Structure 1
Amino acid sequence: MKHIIIKHLLGSLSISLLVLLSGCNDAEYSTLNNQLFLAETGTSANAFKKVTIDEEGATVSATARVSNPVDQDVKVRFVVDASILEKFNTRNSTSYAPLPTSHYSLSETEVVVKKGESIAPAINIAIEALSKELIDSGNQFALPIKVELAEGDNICLLEGANSIIYVVDQVIISSVPVLGTDPATRRYHSAAAALKEDITLREWTVEMRVNMNGFRKNNQALFGAWGPGSELYIRFGDAGTPYNTLQVKFGLEGSGNAFSRSNTEFEPNKWYHVAVTYDGTNITLYVDGVKDVDTDNLKGKTTVISEKIQVASSGSEWFVNSCMMQELRVWNVCRTQQQVANNAHTVNPKTEGLIMYWKMNEGEGNLLHNSVEGAPNLVVEPDTPIRWLDNVRSDGKGRTGLN
């Protein structure tokens, strides 16, 4: 099993610790005395690291350290503690699930910090690739590891810094449909989901992963939904704005734009995660989890969606480029920036507030299934075969263009 580079997920978060066991606080090494912690935390509490897992899995390490050389052998124990993850989720408004025991193993559970030394040999933690069942669940998994004292005198724990959360970032490999105008077939395809009843939204989120092969014309619409006096329309380009910028039209139909253009100028043949949120006051565009632009010029708007939701729907005259798309979701809640950033590639279909979820990973056919129970599927129009492209990877190492 090969070692995978571990990337900091937004860095290790630090919080001020209350004075706990024998005054063991979050501190620099030089101010600590006989305090046990994990070297990987850097003495910071609430630490977590993202571990990218591909088909071969990954190996990470955990290293017990004492703040100064010990005057005796000190035995320490490594424990997987789900309660740490529960507290982490509460503190950070996350929803990581504990990684099942079948998907990890520890090379050792006990090690010794030798007399005269301050650090023990690192243990290896082997993490297996997630099973299809776990991937399909949409859950995100994490492994909470802590070190505790097994044998030794006059050693206390640096509470908070004696544990770390390893967040599993499974590489997802899928097939995606080509919508818009496919240069290989010279056919234009859009998709629509017929609604059984109107949807009223006082706050909302629309998000998707998208990859355009170019921006030759304005009004290439990714998402469109309308109702009595309502409009929610996300498109690339408008007259007078660069065609490779996103525009969001929201509010009364035809009344204007939430914002005329994104700050981001999108590149062809590159995957982006795009999310637009509205909390009843502010409408915000996120690109790859980072806030791009926001405005409060549409306070207190209620959106009604009737009849259908449309995708790549501006017609062959306007949508002259092709669009690969996946992970299209509609929420009746305003998702936070952290939620947007953490769930770009998957989410549990049963998550509160999720009302539409098209993974777009079928690999064949013209029906894009909705993962929310009872919600409508997207039907590709017209009913001629669309092209599906494989080897699209969430780590960006797979397909990026149409060829």
Structure 2
Amino acid sequence: MNKHRFNYLVLGGMALLMSACNNSESDLLEPKLYFENREYVFSLEDESEVKSFDLSSRLSSMVSSQVDVSYVIADKSVLDEYNTQYGTAYEMFDASNVKLSSATSTIPSGKLYAENVQLELSNLETLEEGKTYALPVRVQSTSISTLPGTSIAYFILSKPLKITKVGTFNSNYISVKFPVGTYFSSFTYEALVYIDRFGDNNTIMGTEGKMILRIGDAGGGVTPRDILEVAGTQGYKVKEALQAKRWYHIALTYDQPLGKTAIYVNGAKWAGSDWGIPGFDPNSDVGFNIGKIPGFQWGERPLYGKMCELRVWSVARTENQLKQNVLGVDPKSEGLALYYKLNGTEVEEGGVIKDATGRINGTTNGIRIATLDTPVAIE
């Protein structure tokens, strides 16, 4: 190749590179339109039928002319993508119950923020307790481009369940016989638990000797009576003690493909471990029990207190899923293998109790349903 020609090519390449860099810097410095907050989360504690919110967008830097912006309710597909990305299961808020005081607004010259538009959500009394709804709102402008990933704001509304009836455990239990051949590879145990007093070993649920979630093993001289632990073919415990006279949401998860297990308390991870086990048969040994292990030769290990929202899953629930469904889940949820709500809705006859999924009957010595003075509250 001619040497001079090579030099020209190098110089030309450098010029193109510098031009690309300048264009990239120019793009970064160009004013962008965006929502300052991506999520607005609200809990509908009262009985209001209508809620109003101020909706506003902003620029990344001031411009010398007025900027016109507009707002539109995004398609459900946008929320579907959000749910997939974050492991949530929000339902689309009905757009027919949405009213904007104006679909447009302006950002005056030399200002950063658009003038407020009022967003009104109505018919809130029709929302179902225990479900979370989301409304995605998109901002756009014909004169200013939007900042990627920030052009949609999600208004997230939850209508919390109020649990006022729970099952009392005072040497009471539920024994479960899963269908023959049941084998849990990945799994999740969940329960709302209130301890009246700690015994030496307080059974929450599980298969003794295989995979059991309990509080303490003081009788065995292993674990203090107020420490949460999982025991069986594998085991570990948390470091922080539980307190009596207080409600907790407690969960144990095992993701078999990853070999990861974790204990969650009130949605926060308290402990975890790496396991290499393929899973377990819940019907093995003395079988699967809740509340105590009836007839067990080494002691029945009863829990003295209250429990409700007892769930067993054939999947490892995510941290987000646990946090968002503390007080209740849809009985038709995928992977939900067993569900005792213990709020008085289950039918109990002749020592048999039916679970909310309608699949498995449990054997019980009688679970009394108590009415609480105040609803279950997780701090």
Shift of 1:393: 4.7
The answer on 1:120 being equivalent to 2:120 is: no
* 1:249 positional shift: 1.9
Among candidates 131, 136, 141, match of residue 133 of structure 2: 141
Cα distance in 2 for residues equivalent to 1:59 and 1:250: 52
Query: What pairs up with 1:224-373 in 2 under 5 angstroms?
Result: 224-225=206-207, 231-239=210-218, 240=221, 241-251=223-233, 258-259=235-236, 261-280=237-256, 281-297=259-275, 299-305=277-283, 309-314=288-293, 318-319=301-302, 321-323=304-306, 325-362=307-344, 366=348, 370-372=355-357
Question: What's the counterpart of residue 359 of structure 2?
Answer: 375
Residue 206 of structure 1, CA deviation: 0.9
Structure 1, residues 274-317: CA drift from partner, whole Å, max 9, x if none?
Answer: 11112233332111222222233552343242696432124698
Which amino acid is the alignment partner of residue 33 of structure 2? L
Match of 1:274, SS state, is strand
1:39 partner amino acid: E
Structure-2-length-normalised TM-score: 0.77
Q: Secondary structure at the match of 1:200?
A: coil
2:328 and 2:227 map into 1 onto residues whose CA distance is 25
The one-letter amino acid of 2:355's match is N
- Equivalent residues of 1:39, 1:62 under 8 A apart: no
Alpha-carbon spacing, 1:319–1:95, altered in 2? closer, same or farther (3 Å): same
Aligned to 1:11: none
CA–CA distance in 1 between the matches of 2:345 and 2:242?
26
User: Which ranges in structure 1 are unaligned for 5 or more consecutive residues?
Assistant: 1-21, 41-46, 182-187, 252-256, 397-403
Q: Cα 1:266–1:214, aligned 2, differ >3 Å: closer, same or farther?
A: same
- Which residue of the other structure, out of 26, 32, 37, is the alignment partner of 2:34? 37
Deviation at 1:210, TM superposition (A): 1.6
Distance 2:25 2:146 in 1: 7
Verify the 8 A CA contact 1:24 1:158 in the aligned structure 2: no
2:97 & 2:245 partners in 1: Cα distance? 35
Superposed, 1:96-111 pairs within 5 Å as 96-101=90-95, 104-111=98-105
TM-score, structure 1 length as denominator?
A: 0.73
Q: Aligned partners of 1:312 and 1:346: how far apart in 2?
A: 20
Identity between Structure 1 and Structure 2 (%)? 25
TM-aligned CA deviation for residue 158 of structure 1 = 1.4
Would the aligned equivalents of 1:140 and 1:347 in 2 still touch at CA under 8 Å? no
Q: For residue 58 of structure 2, what is the amino acid of its counterpart?
A: R
1:353 positional shift: 1.4
Instruction: Report the count of equivalent residues.
Output: 342
Q: Displacement, 1:381?
A: 2.3
The CA deviation at 1:335 is 2.1
For residues 128 and 262 of structure 1, the distance between their equivalents in structure 2, rounded to whole angstroms, comes to 45
Aligned-partner residue type, residue 52 of structure 1:
S
Q: Distance in 2 between matches of 1:98 and 1:165?
A: 11
Q: Please state how far the C-alpha of 1:358 moved relative to its aligned partner.
A: 2.4
User: Are 2:212 and 2:230, in contact at CA under 8 Å, matched by a contact in 1?
Assistant: yes
Distance 1:132 1:194, change over 3 A: farther
Post-superposition offset of 1:159: 2.5
Alpha-carbon distance between aligned partners in 1 of 2:97 and 2:195, rounded to the nearest angstrom? 36
Contact 1:172 1:394 in 2 (8 A): no
Whether the 8 Å CA contact 1:176–1:361 is kept in 2: the answer is yes
Select which of 200, 206, 212 maps to 1:218.
200
Match of 2:57 in 1: 64
Residue 53 of structure 1, aligned match among 39, 44, 61: 44
Letter in 2 for 1:295: S
Q: Deviations over 1:252-273 (max 9, x none)?
A: xxxxx512x3223111222222
1:177–1:388 CA contact under 8 A, matched in 2? yes
- Give the alignment partner of residue 175 of structure 1, picking from 164, 174, 179: 164
Q: Show CA shifts across 1:349-376 (max 9, x none).
A: 333211112233337975765332x412
Question: Which runs of structure 2 are paired with 1:77-92 in the superposition (5 Å)?
Answer: 77-81=70-74, 82-92=76-86
Q: Root-mean-square deviation (CA), in Å?
A: 3.4
Structure 2 unaligned blocks of 5 or more = 1-22
**Is the Cα–Cα contact under 8 Å of residues 282 and 288 in structure 2 kept in the other structure?**
no
Question: Are the counterparts in 2 of residues 176 and 363 from structure 1 also a CA contact under 8 Å?
Answer: no
Q: For the pair shown, which has the larger CA radius of gyration, 1 or 2? A: 2
Structure 2 letter corresponding to 1:79: V
Give the aligned residue type for 1:296.
D
The Cα of 1:147 is off from its aligned counterpart by 0.9
Distance 1:290 1:116, change over 3 A: same
Gap change, CA 1:242 and 1:103, over 3 Å in 2: farther
Using the TM superposition, give the Cα deviation of residue 120 of structure 1 relative to its aligned residue in structure 2, in angstroms. 1.7
